[in-house]
Each structure stands twice: as C-alpha cells, then as structure tokens.
Structure 1
Amino acid sequence: MTILWTIGDINGIGPEIILKSFMKLERGEQFVVVGSFKVLQHYVDVLSLPVQLKRIKNIEAISTMDAAQKVLPVLDVGKSIRLTQGKVSASAGELAMMAIERATTLCLMKRADAMVTAPIHKEAISKAGYSFSGHTDYITYLCGSDFSQMMLCDRQSKLKVVLATVHVPVSKVSALVRQDGIEKSIVAMAESLAKDFAVQDPRIAVLALNPHASDGGVIGNEEQLTLEPQIKKLQKNYRVEGPFASDGFFGTASYNAFDAVLAMYHDQGLIPFKMLAFETGVNVTMGLPIVRTSPDHGTAFDIAGKGIASEASFIEATLMACEIARARQMQNEEGQ
C-alpha cells in the first residue's frame, strides 16, 4: 500500500512531524513525501534525525524500493525555495498547494492508495494566488466533487464529530442551518461510516443549536422549525436522534452511545473533541473518491524548527488513512 504525505507549509511544523512519524511507524506500507527534497534534508540535518532520504522523479520509482528499509522517498514538485521559518510566505503556500495537486492526481489515477496532508497556512496560499479557503476545498475541486465535509475522528475515544457549519461567523450559523438543513450531512455521515469504518446502520446524534435545546421554544426556535422536522424525516431511513443540548450531551459522555455526532457550528463540536483528543484527533474528508486524512492541528509557526513538535496526530492520521484504504479495497474486492 502506498501512502502519500504532502509536505504542508515548510515554514511550519509539517516537515518535522513527517520525519518523526516516519521514524516511529512500522515498515509495511510505502510512504512517499510529496514536496521538496532539499527542505526535508535541511530538517534532517538541523534536527539531527536518523532518516535517510531519496529523491525520486516519479511515483513509479518506488517499485524498486524496499518498504522495509529505512529510506524515505521524496517526490520533488517545485523549484528551490528559501525557508523563512515561522513566517507567512507566498512561495511556501505555492509549494504546499503544488504538493496537494500532485498527490491528489496520483490518488485519482490509482497510483497511490491514500494521502495525508500536513498543515498549510491559509494566508500563505492566498498570497500565492489561490482563491480556495484551504486544502480541503482545493482537493474537492481537483476531485470534481460537488460536496465534501470533514469528520473529526479519534481512534482512542472512538468519538466522531461532523460540523453542519464550519468556518463561518457565529452570527451566520442560524441562517445557514435554516437554509441548508442537516440532511446532506447526515447522508454523508452514514455513507462514510459504512464505507470507511464498516459501521452499517450507524446511530447518529444531532446537537441542538440553542442552549437547553431551546427549552421548547423559549430560547430560539431552530429546533422546532428546522432540526426536529428534519430528524423525523431522516428517521425513515437512518437512525438519527436529537436534538440534544450539547453541554449535557458531552458532560454525561452520551457520545459513547453513538457512532457519530453532528454539531451545528465549529466550537460546539471542536472544543469538546479537542479536550478529548487534542494530540490524537484526525480529520477525515467525507465525500471524496479518494482517501484523504490530516492531523487535527495547524502549522504551529511559533515552534517551527525547534524540534519540539508532536507527531502524534500525524501518525494517527496515517494509521487511519491506511485503515480506510484497506476497508475500501476490501469492499471493492467483495463487490467484484
């Protein structure tokens, strides 16, 4: 199995966590970094890491390599670039997106089984001239998909959280929930849980938008007008329950009774998730024809190049990518 690691923003911790992950992961899969050989070699030297790199010109070159050996192949995608650790750089943003484009293309062509993306910086890719809000939007575009959504997963607590709205101001959440509803999210969750995690007929919880689930309409009415009717409709085909008041839901660990949770907005879902899985959380992108995961953290410019970045989430993202790729392969073989 071939797993591609995109280098992320080279001025952040991406190269460091990639190298540290390679040192700890068991040799069985073939890992390939898509990015810059010179940059990775710089981090190997500066951090004194016992990793041997090999520059390759195309993915076919790995066929002659032994995955059990401690050699990490690097597929160069861009021109030489100067490091400015901890700072926003247009050239770093361009390299990050070029790596993502190459990895996505290779996965679509079935030359690789999955991709794991190291963190990028939104301002850097904007300075590089990309109009996408992040790598997920760009990957979705490259895949020709109409819809994608992130599912935050933790293998230890088994918690899986999806957000009905993501990076939008809180002032716009109510209108978006009313406008878009939850049906598309629930369908995507059910499909991903079945295809990627072998959870047939999953049990899904929906969190309320308002405190105390609005107390019967006393504190807002989104529950009565939008969530409850849609949940009732969805229950004809899916095991969906709610809306639950989020404080009590997480406070009593009710999530343990469900396969996944749909939160209404960013902080409602991610604060409790990161309290439970700050270093082990993984972002799995639903709705794509390829397998893509990423660590649940950012570029961490403040500690770039210091050798103190934790690779835990990147390792988890890699292990989950492998599990999902195997699950999809098994389903494809059974369907033949």
Structure 2
Amino acid sequence: MKPVALTCGEPVGIGLELAVKARAALGTTLPFFLIADPRHLAGARIAEITTPADALGIAADTLPVLPHAFAGDAVPGQPDPANAAGVIEVIARAVAMADQVSGICTAPINKKVLKDGAGFAYPGHTEYLAALAGVDRVVMMLASPELRVVPATIHIALSEVPSALTPDLLEATIRITHAALIRDFGIVSPRIAVAGMNPHAGEGGTMGRDEEKIIPVLDALRACGMTLSGPLPADTMFHAAARTRYDAAICMYHDQALIPIKTIAFDDGVNVTLGLPFIRTSPDHGTAFDIAGRGIANPSSLIAALRMAAEMGAARGND
C-alpha cells in the first residue's frame, strides 16, 4: 500500500489545520502524509518521516510529516512572501515522488502571495503541475459521489466563451475525460453528457447557433465508439433522475458546471486534474485567511479529496 502525499499549500491558510483534522478523522484507514515545515505545526501531534513509506507505520492519532524547511514563520491569516518559494518547492517535491505514492492531494495556495514572493509565473496549481509533468493540456473535473462535471472553458469572461470554445478544445476535453473515467475511476464504458451553450441547447438555432460547432464533434467521437448524449439543455441535466444517465457531464463554461455541483455537494466536492501522469486532487475551497487559526474550518472537502486520491490511485494500480 502506498500513502497519499498531501502538500501543505499556503501555510498561513487553513490547509495545515485541516490536515490535522483529516488525520484525526481518518486515522490509519487512509494512509497519507503531509509535506510541510514542522515548525508551522506547533501544538499538533506529528511524527517526522524520511520517506513516503514511513507514513504507514505511524500511530492513528499522529500526523506523519515529511519535513520541508521554509524561510519564514507561519502566523495564521498573515501571508509572508518569504514562504512563497517553500510552497512552490513542496509542490515540485510531491511530483518528484509521484511513483512512491498512490496520489497527490494539494492544499490551497494563494497565487498572489506566490507571485509577489517568488515570481510564480503560472495562473495556478493546475498549470504548474502540468508544466512539471511535461503535459500540454489537462482538464479540470469537480467531483462528488453524486455528480462529476468538467467545464470546457474555465476562468474567462462569459463573453469570451463562444470564441474560446473551439472544436479542438471540446474534442480534447471529452477525450481526456473519457480516458480518465476508464483509467482513474474504473468505469469500463463511460457515458458522458454534453451540455449545449445556449438556453434549450439553442432550440434548433432559434436561441443561438453555438451548438452547430458542438454537434459535429460529438458525432465524430460517437463514430469512434464513445457513448455521448447532447448537446443537452443545461437546465434539465442535473436533477437526480438525469444524473443516473451519465458518469460525467461536460459543460461549456465555468458556472454552468460549478453551480450544480456546489449546490449538490458544497462541503465535499473535490477538484481533480485529469490528463496528468499521476493522480492529483484538491479540496474545492481556498486558503480562507479570514478563518485561519480559529479552529472552525470544515475538513470535509479535504477528507473527500484524500479519499478520492486513494481510490483513483487504486483504480490506476498505484496502491
């Protein structure tokens, strides 16, 4: 059995306290270890380890920590640019040991702090992980037991979506999702639902013609043997009965995907990066500087992310 590697993320956010809470909740039922500076975990019961395998022999009430020295202290809610380089190094270190773990789970980072403190040149975690892995294109999935959604376009203005949504992008998104459902989720014959862009999926062109570039992509992929439905009206895709008819939903833009999953699974949604040569999950929340150190942060999403990393690792044969 291989443990999950959990990166510390921004050390003055809620990531470290959530790691401690997750260990208390999971014990040894799901082995994981934290890569962090032990100085930042004052008051927590921890055990320093030297290799990922060492995490398997630690008592259930103790958090295994693979030490990584940071330049600064960690005062909850008070970002220190001196720690930015350490945050980035921890992510790279986790990737370097990907063959020794079942998966990587990343605690939240703050991009502005990393940019100000270390000149971080990436829009976020996902792009940095893709660069470390040497992968040109990855896909973001938000997942819960009730629903998996994949936005084809992500952090762009709604007005930019029609031009950004090219047939090449849509095809790549569907192919990466289809492959991941087989390899990482153990679904032998994935069923994928694809949303339209416009109300009523355009209703034959009377409410928009963007679906005209979606339909040929779906037809071509169906000819390759994929089970695809759509383009579908997004307003009828996410009720309970509709969700039984597919394994993942491809959406055309950010809110079309994230509103339903955050409505259905706000506390236990998981961010999954598809298309990497290793498993990567993360909780679906940020650093929450405003509540850091107060002991009130909810660990549900991190626990779900750790569990999903372990399950996906097992499906991929990494356990």
Q: Which runs of 4+ in 1 moved over 4 A?
A: none
- Out of 28-37 and 207-216, give the one that drifted further: 28-37
Deviation at 1:172, TM superposition (A): 1.1
CA contact (8 A) 1:38 1:80 kept: no
* Residue 75 (structure 1) aligns with: 66
- Out of 271-280 and 178-187, give the one that drifted further: 178-187
Deviation at 1:193, TM superposition (A): 0.6
Alpha-carbon distance between aligned partners in 1 of 2:278 and 2:183, rounded to the nearest angstrom: 12
* 1:317 matched to 2:317: no
* 1:116 matched to 2:105: yes
Correspondence for 2:54 among 62, 85, 104: 62
CA contact (8 A) 1:93 1:120 kept: no
Deviation at 1:60, TM superposition (A): 6.1
SS in structure 2 of the partner of residue 303 of structure 1: coil
- Correspondence list, 1:209-228, <5 A: 209-224=197-212, 226-228=213-215
Same amino acid, percent of matched pairs: 37
* Residue 92 (structure 2) aligns with: 101
Residues 1:217 and 1:160: Cα distance change in structure 2 (over 3 Å): same
TM-score (norm 1): 0.89
Deviation at 1:114, TM superposition (A): 1.3
* Residue 35 (structure 2) aligns with: 34
Correspondence for 1:152 among 138, 142, 145: 142
Alpha-carbon distance between aligned partners in 2 of 1:277 and 1:91, rounded to the nearest angstrom: 36
Unaligned 5+ segments in structure 1 are 46-50
* Residue 123 (structure 2) aligns with: 133
Alpha-carbon distance between aligned partners in 2 of 1:61 and 1:199, rounded to the nearest angstrom: 29
Amino acid in structure 2 at the alignment position of 1:82: D
Per-residue CA distance 1:134-159 (angstroms, 9 max, x = gap): 1111111111112211111102x1x1
Correspondence for 1:279 among 261, 267, 283: 267
Unaligned 5+ segments in structure 2 are none
Alpha-carbon distance between aligned partners in 2 of 1:136 and 1:104, rounded to the nearest angstrom: 12
Alpha-carbon distance between aligned partners in 1 of 2:105 and 2:154, rounded to the nearest angstrom: 21
What count of residue pairs does the alignment treat as equivalent?
Answer: 316
CA contact (8 A) 1:213 1:244 kept: yes
Correspondence for 1:52 among 42, 45, 48: 45
CA contact (8 A) 2:196 2:234 kept: yes
Per-residue CA distance 1:77-108 (angstroms, 9 max, x = gap): 2334122432443234332211111111111x
SS in structure 1 of the partner of residue 304 of structure 2: helix
Amino acid in structure 2 at the alignment position of 1:8: G
Q: CA RMSD in A?
A: 1.9
SS in structure 2 of the partner of residue 227 of structure 1: helix
